[in-house]
Structure 1
Amino acid sequence: MFTKTLLISTLSCLTIAVPVEQRQTNPNVFSMISTHSGDSSVHLRSIVASGQRFYIGKPTATYCPTVENLDCSTVGNTTSVAVTPNSSSGLSMNVIVPGGQSGYVTTDGQLGYTIAHSNAKPEGSVSAPFLYIPQATPNTVGNLQFNAAGFEACPCNETTGVYQIYAVGGPAFVRTDCTGINIATSNSGTTTAAWQFT
């Protein structure tokens, strides 16, 4: 009896001494920020998902269904994506909708993403190569490229101050009215950005 009591007391002390594992951040999930020094219309502006494309100057477009056992307050409405670092892989939206949503570049260079529950892309679109170089140390930024090239912020004629994001490395990018930008990345950690982007 004494041995059992001693053993249980010892084990309970050991259990208390074991640290609780901290939830790790995912270095592959990040938000995107446009940079172009000297041009305040596109410099240090958030890049958001809206209408299966990416923009500066629009609000993020998300949807979360009202269904039993789904608490939409646990997901956000900010744009973040995931790419495997230092590899020529595809881009995924940071969502929890079954089947996910993936990124692509259209033949004319538009940076876009699939609708929920479908992997359909516009004809001629390509899903790779996206190259993500993560931030090297805290308080710095990473970088996103497509096909070894940068991106352009192209004005949307219907709305002042709104720019659509194009990949210069797209198969047939020809616009000449755009501003060259770098897409800086900032780690988004463990938070799921949305149920789905619309």
Structure 2
Amino acid sequence: MKAATVLAALPAVMASSFTGLSVRSGSPIQYGSINANGGAFYIGKPTQSYCPESVGDACPDGTYTVFSGGDDTLSMDVEVPGGQQVYIAPSGALTFTAPHSASMPEGSISNGFTLSEGTSFGYLSWTNGFVACPSANGSAPYQVFGAIPSLNTSSCLGFDFLASNATGVGAWEYE
């Protein structure tokens, strides 16, 4: 068997950095970007990031939310010293730590994240799955939650979290 034939049969290898897309056919969140904003993740809100003036032109773009990991734990792909870890808050909200801090509320869950490879995209999963819940007006933006047993998901939409390879760090830090 030729080497080219073997290589062509291998699945696409996921990079260590990736962006997220929601997949829920026939819904308002279909192919929505999963963005960090206000310490949580949303579909239908732009990415919110920060870079100190002292970093200047070396600052990453910051307009896309980029994740790293997916081998039990998940982080934001950032430059800020100490990084930012992703976790499920006691409310069920998919959340991330503040810059320069590993502090999480008691009862938070920081493991159970798995990145798997697909033919065109990867898939990020969490132990109980992900749901997107509409804002108070019943529509966008949708906040992303881990489907914990105590979460009322009656108005929420379960979805698949597609992972698309990203190149480079996403931001200095996410807010």
Residue 61 of structure 1 corresponds to 48
Structure with greater Cα Rg:
1
Pair 186,45 (structure 1): closer, same or farther in 2 beyond 3 Å: same
Go from structure 1 to structure 2 and tell me whether the alpha carbon gap of 1:75 and 1:159 turns closer, same or farther (over 3 Å shift). Answer: farther
Higher strand proportion, which one?
Answer: 2
The one-letter amino acid of 2:68's match is A
Q: From the superposition, tell whether residues 72 and 178 of structure 1 become closer, same or farther in structure 2 (CA, over 3 Å).
A: farther
**Percent of residue pairs identical:** 35
Any conservation in 1 of the 2:59–2:171 contact (CA below 8 Å)?
no
TM-score of the two chains, using structure 2 as the length reference: 0.85
| Correspondence for 2:108 | 125
Aligned counterpart for 2:23 among listed residues 27, 35, 55 = 35
1:35–1:184 Cα contact (<8 Å) kept: yes
Corresponding residue to 1:46 among 28, 33, 55: 33
Q: Deviations over 1:93-112 (max 9, x none)?
A: 01000000000001231100
Decide which of 75, 80, 105 is 2:66's aligned counterpart. Answer: 80
What's the C-alpha RMSD, in Å, of the aligned pairs?
1.9
TM-score by length of 1: 0.76
- Kindly report structure 1 stretches of 4+ aligned residues shifted beyond 6 Å: none
| Secondary structure class of the residue paired with 2:20 | strand
Give the C-alpha shift of residue 172 in structure 1: 3.0
TM superposition shift of 1:180: 1.0
Structure 1: gaps spanning 5 or more residues: 1-24
Q: Distance in 2 between matches of 1:129 and 1:196?
A: 23
Residue of structure 2 equivalent to 1:184:
162
Question: Where does structure 2 lack aligned partners over 5 or more consecutive residues?
Answer: 1-12
Residues 1:96 and 2:54 are matched in the alignment = no
Shift of 1:38: 1.1
For 2:4, the equivalent position in structure 1 comes to: none
1:115/1:172 Cα in 2 relative to 1: closer, same or farther (>3 Å)? same
1:171 to 1:122, Cα distance in 2 relative to 1, 3 A: farther
Q: Secondary structure at the match of 2:83?
A: coil
1:2-21, Cα deviation, whole Å (9 max, x unpaired): xxxxxxxxxxxxxxxxxxxx
Task: Please point out which of 118, 124, 131 is paired with 1:152.
Answer: 131
Give the total of aligned pairs. 162
Would the alpha carbon gap of residues 26 and 98 (structure 1) be closer, same or farther in structure 2, given more than 3 Å must change? Answer: farther
- Give 2:8's aligned residue: none
